[in-house]
Amino acid sequence: MALLSRDTSGPALTPAGLDRPVSLSWLTTDTLLFALLIVASVIAHLYGLGRMALHHDESIHAWMSWKFYTGTGGFSCWGGRVSATYCYDPVYHGPSLYVLTLFSYFLFGDGDLQARLPQAAAGIGLAASAWMLRPYLGTRGALLAGVLLAFTPTLLYYTRFARHDGLMVLWTFWIVIGFFRFLDTAQPRYLYVLAVGVALALATHELYYILAFIFGWFLILRLLYELLPRRMVTIGLGAIALVAALIELSIIGGLWYGRLTPTLRADGISLLFLTVASGGLIMARVWDPVPSFVPRFVALWQQQRGALWVALGTIAAIFVVLYSTFFADMQSIIAGLYAGLAYWLGSQQEYARGDQPWYYYLMLMSLYEPLAFSGGLASTMYLFARGVRLPHRAAVEDAQPENDAAEPAPAETGAASIAGHESFAGRPATPLFPLFLAFWFLCSFVAFSWAGEKMPWLNAHIALPANLLLAWALARLGESLHWRDLDPRAWLVPPALLLAFIALAVAFWRFGASATGQQGQASLLQGLLPLGLAGGLIYVMVTVAQRAGVRATLSLCALTTAALLGAYTLRATWLVVYDHPDTPVEPLIYTQSTPDVPLIVAQIRELAINQTRNARSANDPAGGLSMPIIMDNGDPEQGGEGSLAWPYQWYLRDFKRIEIRGSDVFRAATPETFLVDPPQGPGEKILAPVVLISRVSLNDTAQQALEANYTRLYDTKLNWWFPEGNKCDPQSAGYKRFYFAYPGSMGDVLKDCPALDRANVPSVWAPLLWPFDGSHWDNTWRYLLFRELPPPLRLDGREMQVWVRSDLALNGETGVAAPSSGLVKLVATAIYGEPGTAPGQLVQPRGMAVDAQGNVIVSDTASHRLIVFDASGAPVRTIGTFGSGDGQFYEPRGVAVDAAGNIYVADTWNARVVKLDPQGTFLTSWGVGREDFGDGRRASPTDGTEAGNQAEPLAFFGPRGVAVDADGNVYVADTGNKRIVVTDSNGNYRYQWGYQGSDAGQFSEPTGVAVDENGTVFVADTWNSRVQAFARGADGQVAPIPFVTWRVPGWLPQTYDDPFIAASGGRVVVSVPGRNLLTLTDTGGAGLLTWGGNGNDTASVNLPCGVAFGPDGSVYVVDRGNARVMQFALPSVAPTTSGPVQQ
């Protein structure tokens, strides 16, 4: 038995890893919530990551990484060198992005998603790293910080975007975490986090110069106050602030323009130093005076020098390895030390990419980060105005699980030996970390607003400190409320405040109404009632504050306001990140490649496979990639304007035969210009199967040369952008109207806009006072909630065309064809109406119809009436006024006339169709608008679903188009509900078809509907960029599936220009307001004629909308922008038999 006994007298053995029992003691509610946050962040960053086309800059980064990955070579380096491997060029920033993207390609292959994967991983890491902030924010505060960093619009959008900024925010965060955690704990691991953050920031983006300025000044200020007498430092900072203020005042007073050099202005630099010096003076009044920086640095040198050398070695190693491209290009190590600063200060500061106004980031932060921006400003004022007691050391240690027992105490590190400090005994002190966040936030906002290059992705570097400061503030607010001891009456505050906000919003909405007369008085009275209600609710909250305590009431008010702004922020995130990430109705989306780009590439790939899959070669062993493609490289005399290289160079990277031609070649083209060597190699030349050309290069010569052998497959945009406005026209729409609203702007006005009258230069206060101008409140609210661009703002962009060799387009294996016709200048044979509000004059016409006698009935949307002209153009009568009663209209649009001369009107914002007799007398109306959408606009949203539409057949949401067939059936384009509703001539419902979608028979914002003599129905499916044609079935009803569809270039999503359609005699005409064109096709979509062009002469149009065929076959066009109707006699064009672009 003794042999079986165990000797337990020796030391206990530690069980092996797999032998240890599983312990879940670490799993708390907080850790579980944080784990769920990380999972949610993973989903948020990866969902739909490759959905939108790569942006111009993204495609450059993806392509350079792909060249690096494949060893293609041909890299440009700083100093004009060319290298066979990646080398540093400050134009394209630092090497870390390209190395990380190469690694992504290595693991998962090359593609759009893989190009964005490093940034997505950084965004996930950003949220996860918030866990290390627990000593400063508390556990719940760190969780809140993780939520904010994961889901706010700016940070989420640009951590799903293949630029350096998505990486830079993570490295910056690590620098901050590493520095403060090492300062507090002296643990080397945090020093190494700091070192890695610094090294990667140096290897990523030249923004580290700005960060070094901000972080460096905070460090210097603190060290100065710890090392020198307080009075001496205060006097020095006061002198800096005074000089900076005097410089600003001299510029404001007009004593000089503030230009130091061609690339630097004194006003921005002085404002930056004024911010730094003033911040230092204020922080010194409230921060903890006990030395902390100097003792820690002394201890680091005396006791932890080995850790310091490891950290410095880590920085040097990462810098050298990345900048030398793993020792393949040693020259870039030296360039990495200075070239970035030389390039960005030497050219980019003056170039000022984006050319944005000084209030650009004020606008972006207010629009996308209102919670962080307002919370950050409020927290900064709070921190600088009063002190917050430091938590006891024990409380800090309780908030962090790490064992910090080895941390040297301040006395042990020499804190007691630091002399020259004045006593702050008994005075409450503010912790350093929130003060640093406030300093970082303010300096970042000023620095980026001063910098010449202002781009939306740089907003991420302001949003980062703002959201961290917000998390600290909300955590403090939550802790300040003793929830269990809270007076029950205090719970009245959140709903009362919410109702007060709603009442105030309604009051200001009614006060901002543009109506006059009795309607204006009614709006005023309608605003007084909710204003009084808001006053009563405020009184309730004041009464509660007297019982429950002012501090608790204010805290609840702040948290309620934060919840409301948080809900708006979450919606803004959804809209910009997932709903329309590639449609620039958002200023955060800048020069984005259009959704057509991947579609074009997919068709080119299909054509190439069909043409060259059997033409295998050493360069193309599988075949399908050797098809020659001619691509426009733009005008070299205009800096490459018109180049299609980005993003097409990325998307066509696998093709072996991309032939680049400049604009000069296209402008002097002949049919022989497009001859290339065949796919199999040198031989008899052939016409290139595909030509990609920019509108910049497309003149009449190029058009004729292409039409000789090619068919136009796409007429679309390469990229597009948010409508910013014209800085040289302060009266124009768009936010740039206040561009020169800054002190000393006259010099820049004379240089950039010499024709601008000085009297029209906006005041400095103009952009700040604009939000208080009630005339635009209605449009502003609609934009904030629905991202609806108010007229006349509309999306613009660089246009391009795709031409396919005609034998391939018409009879080839792709089986597609496209309308192809050059622009014809037709001169109007008659002009109806003129601008004005008098009878017979037009303000903003949209829809129209022509009866059998040639009378023209025009809907003047802005004046809420119809104007009738006889066949000679003389005004006959005016019908209707503003309102919702019988014979009244609210922004009428579509108009139709039946065989008896009765008039049908799409009364858009009364959500109905109105029927009038030939003289304009009201007969009846039908349609329901159950909801008030603001300013009296009525609508009945069904969500555009099949079930919702069937449930409410006559519930209309902004109907635009109306048409009548020979049998008296009335077709209504129920635009917002994405359907066509059919009634009889008295409004009795018959049937409907369509719902939200892009498949055949589905619609997205159908604005126009037309019926020809055969009963064929044509629908302007605007946001799907197409016309759908529907035939009548055997039962007499229109079949819900189209027999043909065709694309209409220029009809784009998220536009509200109301294009219309008309059909007669085997012809279909559509208006394209976004391009100021009219297009005539046959009933199969084959192009016959295109005419128009922007202008106000008799051969040009400006935002054409309504169209109609006259009894003589001529076409009538509503020229909305010029407030007139034009009549055109069309030349003889025979319908073709070629089909449209099938979808």
pLDDT tens, residue by residue, 701-719: 999 999 999 988 888 899 9
Give me the average pLDDT of each 10-residue run along the chain (1143 residues): 45 65 78 96 97 96 97 90 94 96 97 98 98 94 97 98 98 98 96 98 94 96 95 94 88 67 69 92 90 95 96 98 96 91 68 85 97 96 66 38 39 33 49 95 94 92 98 92 83 91 84 63 77 90 87 91 96 96 94 92 89 71 85 89 94 94 95 89 87 94 92 89 92 91 82 88 89 83 88 87 83 35 79 90 96 96 95 93 94 96 97 97 95 86 92 95 96 97 96 94 96 96 94 91 91 85 96 92 90 88 95 95 94 49 37
Q: In what order do the strands lie in the sheet with 912-916?
A: 892-897, 903-907, 912-916, 922-926
Please report where in the chains the tokens 């136009």 appear, as a residue.
712
Phi, psi of 1068 (to 5 degrees): -130, 130
Asked if 927 and 1025 sit in the same domain, the reply is: yes
pLDDT of residue 514: 56
What type of residue sits at position 612? T
- 3-state class (DSSP) for residue 1142: coil
Last residue of a domain, one of 753, 776, 810: 810
> Rg (Cα) of the chain, in Å, rounded?
34
Measuring CA to CA, which residue among 1135, 980, 983 is closest to residue 1061?
980
Q: Which residues pair with 955 in a beta bridge?
A: 928
**583 falls within a domain:** no
Note the pLDDT of residue 391: 43
In order, the DSSP letters of 1082-1133 are ETT--EEEEEE-BSSSTT-BSSEEEEEE-TTS-EEEEEGGGTEEEEEPPPP-
**The model's pTM:** 0.78
User: Do 114 and 79 fall within a single domain?
Assistant: yes
Question: 370 preceded by cis ω (within 30°)?
Answer: no
Residue ranges making up the domain that contains 1015: 823-1128
- Are 724 and 603 in contact by the 8 Å Cβ rule? The answer is no
Strand 979-983 versus strand 675-676 pairing type: unpaired
**Residue 456: its pLDDT value, please?**
97
Residue 632 lies in a domain: yes
Q: Which residues pair with 1119 in a beta bridge?
A: 1104, 1124
The residue from 439, 465, 480 where one domain ends is 480
Residues 837 and 715 reside in one and the same domain: no
Residue 447 lies in a domain: yes
Beta-bridged to residue 690, according to DSSP, are: 629, 804
Whether 1076 and 1114 map to the same domain: the answer is yes
752 and 630 in a common domain: no
Structure tokens, 710:
């090619």
The residues facing 833 across adjacent strands are none
- DSSP, res 525: H
CA distance 541 to 535: 10
Distance CA 125, CA 120 (A): 9
pLDDT of the residue at 359: 94
Distance, CA of 183 to CA of 497 (rounded, Å): 42
Same domain, 551 and 459: no
Contact partners, residue 36, CB within 8 Å, separation at least 6: none
CATH number where 909 lies: 2.120.10.30
Please check whether residue 1138 lies inside any domain of the structure: no
How far is residue 331 from each of residues 121, 312, 335, 337, 341, measured CA to CA in Å? 31, 21, 7, 11, 17
Judge contact between 941 and 786, C-beta under 8 A: no
Distance between CA atoms of residues 760 and 745, nearest Å: 12
Integer Cα distance of 852 and 916 in angstroms? 16
**Residue 428 dihedral angles phi and psi, to the nearest 5°:** -65, 140
List residues bridging with 1128 in a β-sheet.
Answer: 1115
What's the number of domains the chain is made of?
Answer: 5
pLDDT score recorded for residue 390: 41
Q: Which two tokens stand for residue 182?
A: 């090492």
**Can you name the residues that pair with 868 across neighbouring β-strands?**
857, 877
How long a stretch of residues is the chain?
A: 1143
> Are β-strands 82-83 and 75-76 bridged in parallel, bridged antiparallel, or unpaired?
antiparallel
Tell whether 860 and 875 lie within a shared domain: yes
Q: How far apart are CA 866 and CA 1076, in angstroms?
A: 24
Q: Which residues pair with 939 in a beta bridge?
A: 931
On whether residue 748 sits in a domain, the answer given is yes
Q: H helices of 515-625, where?
A: 517-548, 550-573, 596-612
CB 388 within 8 A of CB 428: yes
Cα–Cα distance between 975 and 264 in angstroms, integer? 52
1115 and 1079 inside one domain: yes
Closest listed residue to residue 762, CA positions, set 780, 745, 779? 745
Dist CA 1003 CA 972 (whole Å): 13
Q: Is the peptide bond before 647 cis (omega within 30 degrees of 0)?
A: yes
1062 phi and psi, to 5 degrees?
-140, 150
- Residue 817 located in a structural domain: no
Establish if 9 belongs to a structural domain: no
- For the chain, counts of helices (H) and of strands (E): 32, 42
**141 within some domain:** yes
Predicted local distance difference test score (pLDDT) of residue 932: 85
Q: What is the pLDDT of residue 109?
A: 96
* Residue 780: exposure state from Cβ atoms within 10 A (0-12, 13-18, ≥19): middle
Coil, helix or strand for 1079?
strand
DSSP run (H or E) holding 442? helix 432-450
pLDDT at 821: 44
pLDDT at 280: 93
Pair (1093, 1019) in one structural domain: yes
Q: Which two tokens stand for residue 77?
A: 């380096």
Whether residue 668 is found in the same domain as residue 568: no
Determine contact, residues 538/338, Cβ cutoff 8 Å: no
**Are 475 and 500 in the same domain?**
no
Q: What is the pLDDT of residue 217?
A: 96
Together in a domain, 394 and 523: no
Other CB atoms within a 10 A radius of the CB of residue 8 amount to 6
Cα 731 from chain centre: 24
Q: Count Cβ atoms below 10 Å from residue 253 Cβ, excluding itself.
A: 10
Residue partners of 531: CB distance under 8 A and separation at least 6: 503, 504, 507
